[in-house]
Amino acid sequence: MNNKAPIKRRKSTRIYVGKVPIGDGEPITVQSMTNTRTTDVAATANQIKELERVGVDIVRISVPTMDAAEAFKLIKQRVNVPLVADIHFDYRLALQVAEYGVDCLRINPGNIGNESRIRSVVDCARDKNIPIRIGVNGGSLEKDLQEKYGEPTPEALLESAMRHVDILDRLNFDQFKVSVKASDLFLAVQSYRLLASRIDQPLHLGITEAGGARSGSVKSAIGLGLLLSEGIGDTLRISLAADPVEEVKVGFDILKSLRIRARGINFIACPTCSRQEFDVIGTVNALEQRLEDIITPMDVSIIGCVVNGPGESLISTLGVTGGHNKSGFYEDGTRQKERFDNEQIIDQLEAKIRAKASMMDETNRISVSLL
């Protein structure tokens, strides 16, 4: 049940990364970045395919050398998701990957040399319809800004971003998005707020170098949650010292929690107590792993007893309420005659979820075909 008013999004222009639209009210996209050596083509392509499996919209790849640029060409041929090349300082790398079909360039114009080099990259991007991401980071501000402000501040990140924006404006190039990331979530949030009031381009959200899987997820959820709830943000990446697949899962969980973008199953589960009639924690953990392939949005409540179980099940797509030996089963808010054996509850609920997803997908397909 959705009883929350939709968040009013900040107005922004639209760009395309490959065929994926960003900005202008389009769905907020979830990105990740490979952590393999780019020159290991097989490992990098395989990691991208794993990211595709969990629904990633866009993947970024570091391209630090010409050998990496040559590897990028081969990787691009093996995957389907749009690819962003992450490039610093050497403008020739940007020109090379542009020839190999890159979908977006992550490159700061002010860091790649003189005006002629900047213009060559921008002209190439314009000619091939490749957008650019300006990526400002609190940990790598220009030396003069470090001296001016003494430490990274929202105003310092904003000034850095606007320097790069001004370069692209001067070259009459408007196909770009901007990020102002920091590892301190308050610094990042305020920087994005300032930037959102200054430009119309799409904003790429992130708390950079957020930390490990648990702490980084919490920090990212708080920081990005604040911004997204204010309507700020058009695409995001969760930066974790963990498997990139976890970044994608956390990204979608944040969007799902804010009812911004639904993908896959929203499990509603009790924290458990001595009243539980079956192993709730084990059941939820097992189903989350088994059902990663389900992208159909649905709410599934798994509650271990009859205190809160019936109430949660009434507002869920599917629900289980713990009972002695056998547990009650609800579908679309209606109690079913069928009950689940507590010893077989994982298999039985998985089967019901898959059947429901298949039915919902078919209904949606028919509805679309009738439009």
- What residue segments make up the domains of the chain, in order of their start? 15-257, 265-370
Q: Which residue has the higher pLDDT, 67 or 4?
A: 67
Over residues 42-55, mean pLDDT: 96
How many C-beta atoms surround the C-beta of residue 201 within 10 A? 24
Per-residue confidence at 371, pLDDT binned at 50, 70, 90? low
Q: Looking at the structure, give the CATH architecture of the domain made up of residues 265-370.
A: 2-Layer Sandwich (3.30)
If you average pLDDT over residues 256-277, what whole number do you get?
A: 91
Alpha helices in the chain (DSSP H): 41-53, 66-78, 91-99, 115-127, 143-149, 154-170, 185-196, 213-229, 244-257, 280-290, 309-314, 345-370
> What CATH number is given for 15-257 in this structure?
3.20.20.20
Tokens found for residue 332: 């679309």
Q: Give the tokens for residue 35.
A: 């952590």
What does 238-252 look like in DSSP terms, one character per residue? ---SS-HHHHHHHHH
Helical H runs in 295-344? 309-314
Residue 7, token pair as written in the block: 């968040």
pLDDT band at 191 (very low <50, low <70, confident <90, very high): very high
Q: How far apart, in whole angstroms, are the C-alpha atoms of residue 242 and residue 215?
A: 11
Reported as a single tens digit per residue, the pLDDT across 71-121 is 999 999 999 999 999 998 899 999 999 999 999 999 988 788 788 999 999
